[in-house]
Chains A and B, each alone.
Chain A
Amino acid sequence: MKTSQKKNKTGRDHGPAPFAHYMKEKLAAAVIIVALALFALAGRVYLIQRDNNEEYNRIVLSQRQSEYVSQTIPYKRGDIFDRNGNRLAYSEKVYNLILDPNQMIASEGDTSNGQAPTYDVVDTTVDAVAEYFGEERAKVLAAVEERPNSSYVRYMREISYDDRQGFLAYCDEKEAEYAASEDPNVRKKRIRGVWFEDEYKRKYPYDSLACNVVGFASGDGTSGNGGVEQYYNDTLVGTNGREYGYLDDDANLERVIKPAEDGSSLVLTIDATLQGIVEKYLAEWKNGDPGSLSASCVLMDPKTGEVLAMASTNTFDLNAPRDTGDYTDEEIYQFGLEEAVGVYRRENPDAPAISVDEVTSHFTHDEIMSYGQQVAWNKLWRNIPVSDTYEPGSTQKIFTVAGALEEGIIKPTDSFNCEGNLKFNDGVNNWTINCVNRNGHGYLDITGGITQSCNVVMMNIALLEGQETFTKYQQIFGFGDYTDIDLPAEAQGLVYDAESMGRTDLATNSFGQNYTCSMIQMAAAYCSIVNGGNYYQPHVVKQILNAEGAVAENIEPVLVRETVSQSTCNFLKEALFQTVEVGTGSAAGVEGYHIGGKTGTAEKLPRSAENYLVSFCGFAPVEDPQLVCYVTVDQPNLPGQAQAHSSFASGIFAKIMAEALPALNLYPEGMDASEYRVPQTVLPSGEGDGQVVMGSQDQESLANEAGESGSQDDTSEAQSQTDAEGNPLPPQTSAPPATEEYIQGGGEDIELPEPGLPGMQELESSIAQSEAAAAAAASMAETEETESAAAETTQ
């Protein structure tokens, strides 16, 4: 740049203030200083990058990645259907309202330099949420202001689809209204930073139906509690999807949506109709008189081992499983007191145990209530048919016979003389084990032994079999082993092995005392007899459907083993048919059907408490069995031996079968579907004439009346009869047709040995009110009662 600057200065220009030489020097110096400073700063930039490049890079990337709200897309838990496609459980999509205060505030525009907000976002959005959802405005605003930097504040949960759509429409409407406004302040309003997150809520449309089989899922749908919800949890759950950002090779943030994989659905073997029938009659029993501690029923298809219905009087609403409404606070408190004693013992193993009265000094009221709550839940949620074991009683008898027939130890035509009891000596004590008929049945053939439920016949057969054979057949029929049913918390039951089994044990086992089993074991074993000798693994799930609803897996019946031969089965089926036709099981008969079955009346431990579990296991039709139904009634609400009427169970059985068989398109003889009327109307009212041999109802009403009278003051004849020795008396009539099996207390000489299974002692001692009492010998006997006698008793 050539200039005339010098000339300006030295020549024509003689201004008062020329740009002096020193100024030039200082200007150059200033520029040099500036340049040096800039180079120094550039050097500093270089140093920062050289020294921290990797570290800062990492920080930047991790900050970026963490900042991108990685959002979970929840999977849908699989549905649960019954075998006919009724939806027992499903997950409904609900929405969570998420506030994003960070976005709300940012959307107001740049206010960092003191500019007024460009948009009015926070107030507008808070207003919209408060107004639409009827929330308190201050509460919404507080949620926003509490965490202004957060992008995720879950404000409301479980909003329905309609509410969500409604809110979105409401927002659109409001925005349009703002945009069209004349007022510039209104035009600045925006609704921002609100969105909905998906979530699923588990619903059980049939509430308590099949509650113990279905179970319930946790709130987030990741786990199940009880039933198939628990057992098949891994199948029902899916994989959460994810919306996330990742940094690609060029450190670009890529947004990726990985969709959720929904869980598979289950098709149960349960038939909701049958389940409903079963639950109806169990509830009727429970709410009726006398009722019982509990009653349970398993309905199975003998040809496949499929469980068609499984229920007990323990029911709860799957939609509100923690509602202990059936228990009063006092009851729960009492549970809590008892539980607290155990808790104290576990927590202070060295300290002396405390009694129930002392609990309050160690635990607060809330703690006791909390324990009680848990106990109450466990009671409610307990799936009795699978989780509880008990001494089955006479239903065992057919397996005693089956083993002996199969091994050729006895022939169907063999007969035994029943003199009322058998005497044993186990080396320590002498035991006299009574038959149901203390006077003895006289000579009975094998069929007679079953139809009359004769203990002596069974004991003789078992003694002929010996321990080896008897235990072998227990094992073959699945007693003492898990059935591997696809339900959680299965109980195994306790049985003897051949070595430890004494003669008295063998004798009592032969009629179903002194070992324990679960209902599902007993029902599955019956199925194998009924279907001709095939033991199928009992199961409750038939199919697994994938998320699209297509069949992913068919669960075929699993043939575990062959139990006994066809001929043995045929013999036993005939015997069971006879039992219902002419024997102790007549109360189980249903008009128009050929029904077979066996009663059971078991005395519970401790024997001294004289509590009974009565049961009936039957099937129909005898010619082509379609249904096995096993009903147990645990401790009817009657004193002592008044409980011991198997007709309580066979009555329920008959009612269930009368309605269940038509539901399976099996109509009474001589009728077809068009003639068949709904079962409720077919069932006799109990006041009908004796011609209607829906004996169940008659027996039921009789039993009820007997129960009533048993619990009343000793004014009635029946009461005086039963209370003469504190026990019901055997009927005095001679050789009547047997219609019911019930236990009759004997004298001091009639003793049923205490179980020799150590595990069983332990198990039962937990049930026992007092172990000392358990040590005392209890007596048990079975006897027969004529219909007339029963009628007489209830006069």
Chain B
Amino acid sequence: MSGQARTQRPEQAPVKKKKHRPKRFYDYSLLFAVIFITAFGLIMIYSSSQYTAAIQYDGNSTYYFQRQAIFVCVGIIGAVIVSKFDYHWLKRLSKPLYLLSIILLLAVMVLGVASHGRTRWLRIAGVQFQPTEMAKTTLIILLAALISKYGYRVNQKKYVRILLFVAVIPTALIGQANLSSGIIVAGITAMMLFIGCKVWWPFLTLGAAGLAALIFTKPLLTRWVLANNITGSDSYQFRRVLAWAMPERFTDDSYQTLQGLYAIGSGGITGQGLGESIQKFGKLPEAQNDMIFSIICEELGFIGALAIVFIFLFIIYRLMLIASNAPDLFGSMLCIGVMAHISLQVILNIAVVTNTIPNTGVTLPFISYGGSAILFTIGEIGIALSVSNRIRLE
């Protein structure tokens, strides 16, 4: 709390001489990188969705593009406004926001709009939105607030338990309906804890276990399937795992994955050219959504995919710098949370698209179509910018 009072001091003394007013940093590089990548995302959304939009919406091929453009504009303006506020007010709001998101998560379970037997959407005043996206952001804020509050005590088991408890509730609520989002929430928590805590081994063990699972599951599962002549499963999640391991065998479940791979593979080094995707013509489901990265690969090739990866790496790098240089631990942890969120989503999305991991619905931040997601991710960038704006230059 003292930090907040301290940082507000300069603004409270506008009458002071100009030379005493400290210069503040503002990470324009991050802002423009994000504006650039969302603009690029809009182009890709138009390219990948125009065909299906025209069919679905009475010939309106720009349906998805228009909606997303509105969200992007609102999101960027919102982010700039947020960035001009002192982020410390979030500390006070962290608990109410967290509670609100938990309530909304519960509400969506009861009242949510059903789709394929799953409930992820909540309609408020005619606007549908995903509480999941909000929960991710509010959890980041709460964890940042708690870690900065505990300081070095975070290395004590008791406080770790509190943090884990705080994280488990939304993880469980989200994960029961949407496993991928649950994994992302858990991942964000893990990464924030990893950086916040001094110990290495639990995280390294966890990471190694995950890597080993990734490497060994496929051959073992394949052998098991062949040995027992498995042809399917009642479990929706397990079928996806089977489809991941043997896409040619479980074609019912691997259709989307295979079509995505065809798109990526047909792109080659330089791609078919912007707007020249063939798979977007109704073949690849969710082309403008989860699978947009395959369309990018198809149209822009390996070079385009690499460029996207570098832009994300740049954003992550800027977030790292802001975190490293944040005026206080709360700011640092906020940026780390945002960074964790974005990097996990990017990694999981590309991993799904390339069939490196089983298919789960993960969107590509800033690029995939989705109003709630783009609003909250850009909003998180706004918070990071706000943190950067508290960095005083010499």
Residues of chain A whose beta carbon lies under 8 Å from any beta carbon of chain B = 1-5, 7-8, 12-13, 15-20, 22-24, 26-28, 30-31, 33-35, 37-39, 41-42, 44-46, 48-49, 51-53, 55-57, 59-61, 63-64, 67, 103, 106-116, 118-119, 190, 247, 250-253
* Chain A residues with CB under 8 A of B313: 34-35, 38
Q: Flag B96-138 by CB within 8 Å of A: 1 or 0 each.
A: 0000000000000000111110111100000010000000000
Q: How far is the CA of A67 from the CA of B259 in the complex (A)?
A: 14
Residue in contact with A49 in the complex, picked from B289, B297, B336, CB distance below 8 Å: B297
Instruction: For the complex, give the distance between the alpha carbons of A412 and B343 in Å.
Output: 118
Q: How far is the CA of A115 from the CA of B394 in the complex (A)?
A: 52
- Please tell me if the beta carbons of B265 and A52 are within 8 angstroms of each other in the complex: yes
Contact B149 A30, beta carbon cutoff 8 Å: no
- CB of B94 within 8 Å of the partner chain: no
B266 touches A60 (CB 8 A): yes
Q: Which of B283-315 contact A (CB under 8 A)?
A: 283, 285-286, 289, 297, 301-302, 305-306, 309, 312-313
Listed by A's residue number, 6 A-B pairs whose Cβ atoms lie within 8 Å are A5-B391, A20-B152, A41-B350, A53-B266, A106-B282, A253-B278
Q: Which of B278, B282, B289 has the most CB of A within 10 A?
A: B278
Give which listed residue, B264, B312, B346, contacts A48 with CB less than 8 A: B264
**B10 CB-CB contact with A under 8 Å:** no
**A49/B120 in contact, CB under 8 A:** no
A111 to chain B, nearest CB (A): 7
Interface residues of B in 185-220 (CB under 8 A from A): 191, 194-196, 198, 200, 207
The CA-CA distance from A252 to B55 in the complex, in Å, is 19
Task: From A4, A45, A118, give the contact of B297 (CB < 8 A).
Answer: A45
User: In the complex, what's the smallest C-beta–C-beta distance from A172 to chain B, in angstroms?
Assistant: 15
Known: A18-B151, A45-B264, A53-B268. 9 other contacts (CB 8 A): A15-B3, A17-B149, A34-B313, A41-B356, A48-B261, A49-B264, A49-B297, A114-B118, A115-B115
**Distance, CA A464 to CA B393, complexed state (A):** 138
Flag the segment in B168-176, B244-252, B327-335 that touches A. Answer: B327-335
Overall SS of chain A's interface? helix
CB–CB B56/A250 < 8 A: no
A18 near B306 (CB under 8 angstroms)? no
Q: Are B151 and A16 in contact (CB under 8 A)?
A: yes
A56 to chain B: which residues have CB within 8 Å? 261-266
Distance between Cα atoms of A61 and B279 in the complex (Å): 9
| Interface membership of B317, Cβ < 8 A | yes
Contact string, B148-168, partner A, CB cutoff 8 A, digits 1/0?
A: 111110000000000000000
Q: Please give the distance in Å from B393's CB to the nearest CB on chain A.
A: 6
A64 in complex: contacting residue of B128, B278, B289, CB < 8 Å: B278
Given A42-B305, A60-B266, A60-B278; A2-B343 close (CB under 8 Å): no
CB < 8 Å neighbour of A26 from B55, B194, B350: B194
Report chain A residues within 8 Å CB of B351: 41
A124 to B273, CA, bound (A): 40
A247's nearest neighbour on chain B, judged by CB, is B278
Interface size on B, residues (CB 8 A): 87
When the two chains form their complex, are residues B115 and A113 in contact, meaning their CB atoms are under 8 A apart? yes
A46 to B267, CA, bound (A): 10
Q: Contacting chain A: which of B38-46, B76-84, B232-240, B318-326?
A: B318-326
**Taking beta carbons and an 8 Å cutoff, which residues of B are in contact with A?**
2-3, 6, 25, 52, 55-58, 112-116, 118-121, 128, 147-152, 191, 194-196, 198, 200, 207, 261-269, 272-273, 276, 278-279, 281-283, 285-286, 289, 297, 301-302, 305-306, 309, 312-313, 316-317, 320-321, 323-330, 332, 336, 339-340, 343, 346-347, 350-351, 354, 356, 391-394
Chain A residue nearest to B273 (CB atoms) is: A250
A31 touching B316 by the CB < 8 A rule? yes
Tell which of B266, B289, B328, B339 touches A57, judged by Cβ atoms closer than 8 Å: B266
Query: Which residues in A have their C-beta under 8 angstroms from that of B279?
Result: 60
Q: What separation, in Å, do the CA atoms of A8 and B3 have in the docked complex? A: 11
Could you say which residues of chain B place their CB within 8 Å of the CB of A44? 354, 356
Contact A112 B261 (CB under 8 A): no
Contacts of B194 in A (CB 8 A): 26, 30
Given A19-B326, A38-B313, A251-B278, do A118 and B57 touch, yes or no (CB 8 Å)?
yes
User: In whole Å, how far is A253's beta carbon from the nearest beta carbon of chain B?
Assistant: 7
Closest Cβ neighbor of A24 among chain B residues: B324
Q: With A2-B393, A63-B283, A114-B114 in contact, do A103 and B55 touch (Cβ < 8 Å)?
A: yes
Contact assessment for B327 and A13 in the assembled complex, using a CB-CB cutoff below 8 Å:
yes
B192 to chain A, nearest CB (A): 10
In Å, the complex CA distance between A119 and B60 comes to 13
Bound-state CA distance A103–B6 (Å) is 62
Instruction: Give, as a whole number of angstroms, the nearest-CB distance from B311 to chain A.
Output: 11
CA A24 to CA B313, docked complex, whole Å: 18
The 9 closest A-B pairs by CB, nearest first: A114-B115, A56-B265, A17-B151, A52-B265, A17-B329, A3-B325, A57-B266, A34-B343, A5-B325
Residue pair A190, B191 in contact (C-beta under 8 Å): no
For the complex, give the distance between the alpha carbons of A35 and B320 in Å.
12
Contacts of A116 in B (CB 8 A): 113
CB pair A27–B324 under 8 Å, yes or no, is yes
Contact in complex: B266, A19 (CB < 8 Å): no
Given A38-B312, A42-B306, A115-B115, check contact A57 B329 (CB 8 Å).
no
- Given that A24-B324, A39-B309 are known contacts, is A49 also in contact with B283, CB under 8 Å in the complex? no
On chain B, the residues within 8 Å of A109 by CB distance are: 56-57
Is B195 within 8 A of A30, CB to CB? yes
A60/B263 in contact, CB under 8 A: yes
Residue of B nearest to A63 (CB): B283
- Chain A residues within an 8 Å CB radius of B281: 64, 67, 253
- Chain A residues whose CB sits within 8 angstroms of the CB of B121 once the complex forms: 113-115
Cβ contact within 8 Å between B57 and A4: no
CB atoms of A41 and B347 under 8 A apart: yes
Q: Are B328 and A17 in contact (CB under 8 A)?
A: yes
B394 near A4 with CB under 8 A, answer yes
B309 lies within 8 A of A41 (CB): yes
